Amino acid sequence: MTTNLRTAYGETLVELGKTNKHIVVLDADLCKSTMGVLFENTYPDRHFEMGIAEANMASVAAGLALTGKIPFIASFAAFAPGRCYDQIRTSICIPGLNVKICGSSAGLSDFGDGSTHQSIDDIALMRLLPGMQVFSPVDAVQTAQIVEYMAANNGPMYIRVNRNDLPVLTPEGQTFTPGSLYTMNEGCDVAIFATGITVSIALEAAKELNSKGIQAKILNVPSIKPLDESVVLDICNETKAYITFEEHSIYGGLGDAINAVVAPKLAKKHIRLGLQDVFGTSAQNYKVLLEHYGFIPETVVKAAIDILK
């Protein structure tokens, strides 16, 4: 099994395409990056290269969905949904069509191309649309599981996919259920809700916190919308405070989703970790960029210590 989320996306579609002839894949001049090229190579009659025309790609996908096809459209997450938001809203979500959107190279993971290619707002854009489901997998295994779910279930859905190889954290035998949260580390002092690459960073922070006598409960949240609100409340009831951590703006993403559940019902201190109302920038490698914006264990450790004072 690959450790690259983009490859998992492409390989899973190829596998699903063997038995589900309704699946079609559309790309906007980036199929070698999104890994839609794997589907193109296997089923050339069911892959459509739309060129650098993301809005048109979304509109064509809506038309294909009306004929009974299951279109998966993909581009960098900065461009899909960014460049085709109006078409996703009007042509896909208002009629509730069965179109699947993959925001590839999400967050800061396209480290070399800078702010124009880095998606700090895609979760927020997709989360606010009525009927849209929003997913952010932790690794390649969960990516494959989510793509399988997307293909098997009706309605508009969005998955954001990291560009780089990430450690496999999904335990063998664990299945994906929309809305579910997955406990990665037990703790009773502070709950840390993380998604995507921030899960592995939070797990490293939990080790340091443990050495300081602080027990952190780490949650992997691959399903931003829907979200099991009762589980979120139970977790926050059992801990003294909570932190949200995402490779996305602190506005409109995971932090707002968790706060919307907890704040009206529980008086708990909380901190939102993520991009602090800033755009990304270019860097020589992903690690340098993550460190620059505070996506490191030390950020989480400090936040946990501060919030428990």
Tell me which residues are annotated as active site: 54
- The answer for 22, left when phi > 0, alpha when psi is -120 to 50, beta otherwise, is alpha
Pairing of strands 133-135, 223-225: antiparallel
CA pair distance 277, 286, nearest whole angstrom? 20
Alpha-helical regions (H) of 54-158: 54-66, 85-87, 122-127, 140-152
Asked if 120 and 82 touch (Cβ cutoff 8 Å), the reply is no
Q: Please classify residue 29 by burial: count the beta carbons closer than 10 Å to its beta carbon, then call 0-12 exposed, 13-18 middle and 19+ buried.
A: middle
Whether 197 contacts 111, CB under 8 Å: no
In three-state secondary structure terms, 218 is strand
184, containing H or E segment: strand 182-185
The identity of residue 166, as a single letter, is L
